[in-house]
Amino acid sequence: MTQPSDKALVPFVSVDNMMRLVHHVGIEQILREIADYIEEDFKRWELFDKTPRVASHSDVGVIELMPTSDGEAYGFKYVNGHPKNTKEGLQTVTAFGLLADVYTGYPVLLSEMTLLTALRTAATSAMVAKHLAPKGSKTMAMIGNGAQSEFQTLAMKAIIGLENVRLYDIDPAATEKCARNLSKMGVNVTKCATPEEAIQGAQILTTCTADKKSATILSDNMVGAGVHINAIGGDCPGKTELAAGILERADVFVEFPEQTRIEGEIQQMADDFPVTEMWEVILGQKPGRRDDKQITLFDGVGFATEDFSALRYIRDRVTGSDFCEELDMLADPDDPRDLFGMVQRSKA
């Protein structure tokens, strides 16, 4: 059997190798490093192709493609969102992604992104909180204690110095799971019986629930002045977590307005509802947090540039290492015009 040429091989990062990499680098360090890559790409915002994700909705969930390019590399992520899956012993979200060279069109990396999406989502939240949360924020309410909750907590610890997390979930088993996983991670954990209890004394309120419906996880009267809301559960049309009254009192920050107006909390508001894009804050073109009384709200739905940043980070981290394997993915005939001849010769 003929061995594939180097041109046929594409580095692949499996789930196992992604977990090995996380342990090798350290969970908090890898979150910091991914956040740095995401922030770097927000500073290059104008270079990127930007389009809302391509979504295929069904009665039970959604399947999406999230593409972008900076002109030199092209990336996309395949991702699903099926809240009913956990009752069947399956993940709500699964994903994989690809990075390619724009000049040749050849893929340069294929990677699992179920774990990587959790890492990049948490890294994005904490990077944004660094710019928007009250200075010295030490306590976060984590409402929704599913697969994302531990990553969110540890990213806030690693990037802004969070010390305390107050957990609430409609399912007490999810809260027990999250508390158990965080018990030796250097953060003080409080299990709460209601969302009202969870937000007591918290400077950051994170909502991350899974149900694909318009819900009121935080009502208007629950949110006082001077907090930062990290609303990351909304990610498709018809799915929200916050009362509209909160949005009316808050300064709202988004990734890409054209996508967030379809999928985020602001889908509840008029098309001209004012928002600030995070890249403008990061570049110093627009203000973030102005005073201690302000309510800042990150309406985070997840955007393709963040996946691009995460894939770019993984490519740089695994190149020349044993954290990836080579897949025979690309046909490489001796004569580029003779693909059929390559097939025929392989029979021998």
Name the residue among 70, 117, 56 with its Cα closest to residue 91. 117
Separation CA 318–CA 315 (nearest Å): 6
Helix (H, G, I), strand (E, B) or coil at 325: strand
User: Is position 235 annotated as part of the catalytic site?
Assistant: yes
Please say if the pLDDT value at position 7 is more than 90.
Answer: no
Write the pLDDT tens digit of every residue in 169-197: 999 999 999 999 999 999 999 999 999 99
Residue 2: pLDDT band (50, 70, 90) is low
- The share of the chain scoring above pLDDT 90, in percent, equals 86
Separation CA 316–CA 331 (nearest Å): 25
Write the pLDDT tens digit of every residue in 209-228: 866 666 788 999 999 999 99
Give, in order, the Cα–Cα distances in Å from 31 to each of 137, 181, 248: 18, 17, 32
Please say if the pLDDT value at position 5 is more than 90.
Answer: no
**Strand 251-254 relative to strand 276-277: parallel, antiparallel, unpaired?**
parallel
Give, in order, the Cα–Cα distances in Å from 84 to each of 116, 264, 322: 22, 20, 36
Over residues 63-82, mean pLDDT: 97
Name residue 79's beta-bridge partners: 64, 95
Catalytic residue among 70, 235, 299, 307: 235
φ/ψ bin of 44: left (φ > 0), alpha (ψ from -120 to 50), beta (otherwise):
alpha
Please say if the pLDDT value at position 1 is more than 80.
Answer: no
Alpha carbon 275 to its chain centroid, in Å, reads: 20
Write the pLDDT tens digit of every residue in 241-290: 899 999 999 999 999 999 999 989 999 999 999 999 999 999 999 999 99
Write the pLDDT tens digit of every residue in 318-345: 999 999 999 999 999 989 999 999 999 8
Please say if the pLDDT value at position 306 is more than 80.
Answer: yes
Name the residue among 315, 304, 307, 306 with its Cα closest to residue 101. 315
Residue corresponding to tokens 């509802």 = 273
Helix (H, G, I), strand (E, B) or coil at 268: helix
The pLDDT, as a whole number, for residue 298 is: 98
Maximum alpha-carbon separation in the chain: 75
Residue 348: pLDDT band (50, 70, 90) is low
Over residues 295-317, mean pLDDT: 97
Over residues 202-207, mean pLDDT: 97
- The share of the chain scoring above pLDDT 70, in percent, equals 97
The pLDDT, as a whole number, for residue 12 is: 98
Separation CA 324–CA 94 (nearest Å): 19
